[in-house]
Amino acid sequence: MRVTTTTQAPVDTAADTVAIGVFEGEDVAHDLDGAPLQALLDSGEARRTLKHLALTHAAGRRWLVVGLGARDDFDAERARAAAATVVGRLGELGTRTLCWELPHRLDEAQVGGFVEGTLLAAHRFDRYRAAPPEDETPARVEELIVSDHHDVSAPVERAVLVAEAQNRARDLAATPPNDLTPQTLAERARELAAEHAALSVAVLGRDGIAAAGMGAFAAVTQGSDAEPALITLRHEPADGDGYDLGLVGKAVTFDSGGLSIKPAASMATMKFDMAGGAAVLEAVGAIAALGLPVRVVAVVGATENMPSGRAMRPGDVVRARTGTTIEIVNTDAEGRLVLADCLAHARELGARRLVDLATLTGAILSALGHHRADLFADDDAWAAAVERAAAATGELVWRMPLDPEYGELIKSPIADLVNAGERGLAGSITAAEFLRRFTGDVPWAHVDIAGTAWDLGRPYAAKGASGWGVRLLVDLARAVAGE
C-alpha cells in the first residue's frame, strides 16, 4: 500500500473512501456541503463509541464515520483498533484509495497508530492461493492518504516503516516450513544488509557452529538435514565500541520436538517457532531504515528440530560455548539450547544490554494466554525500559519472577544443568532460569512470545502470525538511542 500525507481536505484528494474518527463529546471537525456527516451523528446512526461504524455516500465518494470513544482514554492501540474496524469494511466497499481525516490534536503515537492499524489490518498472506475464496472480500486498498491540518509526514513515515517490517515478520512466520528453512532466514538477513549501508551480516553453518564450540546449538541442529544458520546482523551507523543493544531471536523453523516428539496436534503449527528470530531480523531492518543512532548486534539461531538417526537423545550431555554442561532430558526443550549459545555469542561480541525473543514454552499460554507476553529480567532498570516500550507499542508484557529456588529445578545429577524441569511445574520460569546461566552480568531481558506470536486476537492481527515484537524492539532501540 502506498502511503502519502496531505494538509488538503479529503474532498480535495483522489480518495474514493474517506474515514473520519469522532471522539465522545465532539463533532465532525469540518462538515462539508452535501456530506451530512454531522446529520449522521445527530440521527444516532453514527456513534462516538469506540469502533462504531457508519457509512454514507456524498460528493462522489464513501464516508465512514468511526467512533473513537473518549479522548482521554485514546491511545495508539485504540487508533490501531479503530483503523482495523474501518479496514474491515473496505473489502465490501471496493475501496482502492482510502483517506484518513485525522481528528485534531493527536500526538505522534496516535497518528502512527492509525497508520499501523490500517497497514496491519489490510495485510494478507495469500501467496499460496490462486484467489481468495468466494465468501471473502478482502480489502484491496492501493493507496492510503493521511490528511491533517499540519504536516504529519514524519510520524506517518515512521509508522509505515515499522508496520511494513512487522508485516514482513508475519509473512516469515506464516511461510510453510518446507519453504522457510534456516537458510531462507539467512538469505533474508543478507537482503536486509544489502538494502541498508549501516547493516552487515555474517552467517555460520553447521561446521561453523560446531567449530565455535556451540555444543548446545549444534545438538539441536544435528537431527536435521537442513543446514542451520547462526545469523549475526550488525547495525553500525557510526564507529564505536561494542553494541548498545544485543537482540537475540529463537528461529526454530520447524519444531517436531525431536525424539521427545510432539503429539500431532501440537506439532501442526510449529512452523512459527522462528517468530522471535523473524521479529529480530525485521526490527533491525526497521532500525536501519529509520536511521536510529544505535549500535545493535542481532544474533538469530536458525535450525530445525527433527528426530533422526543423528538426532540428539534424551540423556546426552552437551557442552555449551560458555563451557557449561547440559544434560538433555527432553529434546523438545530445544529453544533454550539454541539461545544459550546465541546469548553467549551476543555477549562475547560486546552487547551491553540483551533482549531475547522466543516462542519458548507452551506453559506461557496457560499463564497469560494470547494477550500478553511474559518478561523475565535480571536488572530492574532494563526491565522497566522493556515495560515502557511494551506499554508504548501495545505489545504488552507481564514481568515474572526469577528466584534461585526455581534454579534448583534445573540442576542435573551429572552435569551443570538439565534442559527441562519437571513437567507442569513453572515451565516458563525454569526456561528463563536456564537462559540466565548464559547471560553473565550483562543486563538481560527475556520475552516469551509463545502466546503472542500466533492468533494474537487484536483487531489488526487476530489470526495467524502477528509479527509480535517488531514494534517493541524498535521502540526499545529508540529509547536506548535516547530519542
Q: Residue 347: which residues within 8 A CB-CB, separation 6 or more?
A: 246, 354, 438, 439, 440, 442
Among 16, 77, 101, 273, the residue binding Zn ion under the rule CB under 5 A is: 273
359 binds ligand BES (CB under 6 A): yes
Report d(CA 310, CA 116) in Å as an integer. Answer: 45
262 is catalytic: yes
Site map 320..349 versus Zn ion, x via CB under 5 A: ---------------x--------------
336 is catalytic: yes
Residues 436-475 that bind ligand BES (CB under 6 A): 450
450 binds, among Mn ion, ligand BES, Zn ion, none (CB under 5 to 8 A by kind): ligand BES
98 binds, among Zn ion, Mn ion, ligand BES, none (CB under 5 to 8 A by kind): none
For residue 272, what is the DSSP state? G
Residues 233-272 that bind ligand BES (CB under 6 A): 255
Report d(CA 46, CA 67) in Å as an integer. Answer: 8
- What is the residue whose three cell numbers read 451530512? 36
Grid coordinates in use for 379? 536488572
- 10 Å CB burial of residue 335 (0-12, 13-18, 19+) is buried
374 binds ligand BES (CB under 6 A): no
CB 365 to ligand BES: min, Å: 6
Site map 24..63 versus Zn ion, x via CB under 5 A: ----------------------------------------
CB 361 to Zn ion: min, Å: 9
Only one of the segments 48-56, 182-190, 332-340, 436-444 lies at the binding site for ligand BES (rule: CB under 6 A); that segment is 332-340
Instruction: Rank residues 334 and 475 by Cβ distance to Mn ion and give the closer one.
Output: 334
CB 334 to Zn ion: min, Å: 6
Mutual angle of helices 427-436 and 335-348, in 10-degree steps:
30
CB 450 to ligand BES: min, Å: 4
Residue 474: closest CA among 190, 188, 280: 280
Q: Is 463 helix (H, G, I), strand (E, B) or coil?
A: coil
Cβ 142 vs Cβ 96: under 8 Å: yes
448 binds Zn ion (CB under 5 A): no
Angstrom CA distances, 128 to 175, 186, 188, 278, 367, stand at 9, 22, 19, 20, 34
Grid coordinates in use for 24? 465522545
304 binds Zn ion (CB under 5 A): no
Residue 205: closest CA among 184, 222, 178, 230: 230
362 binds, among Zn ion, ligand BES, Mn ion, none (CB under 5 to 8 A by kind): ligand BES
Report d(CA 42, CA 20) in Å as an integer. Answer: 15
Among 77, 148, 273, 378, the residue binding ligand BES under the rule CB under 6 A is: 273
Q: How many residues does the chain have?
A: 483
Catalytic residue (one of 190, 262, 319, 352): 262
Instruction: Rank residues 109 and 274 by Cβ distance to ligand BES and give the closer one.
Output: 274
Instruction: Rank residues 171 and 334 by Cβ distance to Mn ion and give the closer one.
Output: 334
For residue 252, what is the DSSP state? E
427 binds ligand BES (CB under 6 A): yes
Handedness of CA 364, 369, 370, 373 (dihedral sign): negative
335 binds ligand BES (CB under 6 A): yes
Query: DSSP for 435-465?
Result: HHTTSTTS-EEEEE-TTTSB---BTTB-SSB
Report d(CA 248, CA 252) in Å as an integer. Answer: 13
CB 260 to Mn ion: min, Å: 8
The number of beta carbons lying within 10 Å of the beta carbon of residue 127 is: 10
Q: Residue 314: which residues within 8 A CB-CB, separation 6 or more?
A: 259, 260, 328, 329, 330, 331
Catalytic residue (one of 234, 336, 347, 437): 336
CA dihedral 176, 178, 183, 189 (to 10 degrees): -20
306 binds ligand BES (CB under 6 A): no
Instruction: Rank residues 17 and 419 by Cβ distance to ligand BES and give the closer one.
Output: 419
Instruction: Rank residues 420 and 477 by Cβ distance to Zn ion and give the closer one.
Output: 420
Report d(CA 131, CA 137) in Å as an integer. Answer: 11
Binding residues vs Mn ion (CB under 5 A):
255, 332, 334
Among 160, 363, 418, 432, the residue binding ligand BES under the rule CB under 6 A is: 363
427 binds, among Zn ion, ligand BES, Mn ion, none (CB under 5 to 8 A by kind): ligand BES
The site for Zn ion (CB under 5 A) is made up of: 252, 255, 273, 335
Which residues bind to ligand BES, rule: CB under 6 A? 255, 273, 330, 332-335, 359-363, 420, 427, 450
Report, as residue numbers or ranges, the catalytic residues: 262, 336
